Amino acid sequence: QVQLVESGGGLVQAGGSLRLSCAASGLTFSSVAVGWFRQAPGKEREVVVVISRSGTMTYYADSVKGRFTISRDNAKNTVYLQMNSLKPEDTAVYYCAAARRSYYSLSDRSYDDWGQGTQVTVSS
């Protein structure tokens, strides 16, 4: 069974930092692209950042460029999202997802497996 488990969420003050982790099992981790998505109350789910299978291609939403950094450690079957200079508008449930068939995709429709989500709350 494929399983993705997010961790590292919490409540922080504006300007603070969090590091999210996504641990994967049940798949060949190096064969999947991984994306982080977020969904705030009353809003559509949106892509935050994507990293390709090899890690050579990345995409960052304009709203997080310069503040968030994605990395992957295939040996540990884990993807990390370092979030710095957090803003209240970053408040959302963050999900990691794996795409088995796409080398690189910005569409959530391309992702096959999803984690349960981790809550990030940024207070002002």
Distances (CA, A) of 55 to 6, 12, 27, 70: 19, 29, 17, 9
Return the pLDDT at 74.
84
Query: Which element (helix H / strand E) includes 75?
Result: none
User: Mean pLDDT for each 10-residue chunk of the chain (124 residues)?
Assistant: 95 98 91 95 95 91 97 92 98 96 89 97 96
Return the pLDDT at 1.
86
DSSP-derived secondary structure for 10-41: EEEETT--EEEEEEEESS-GGGSEEEEEEE-T
Return the pLDDT at 60.
97
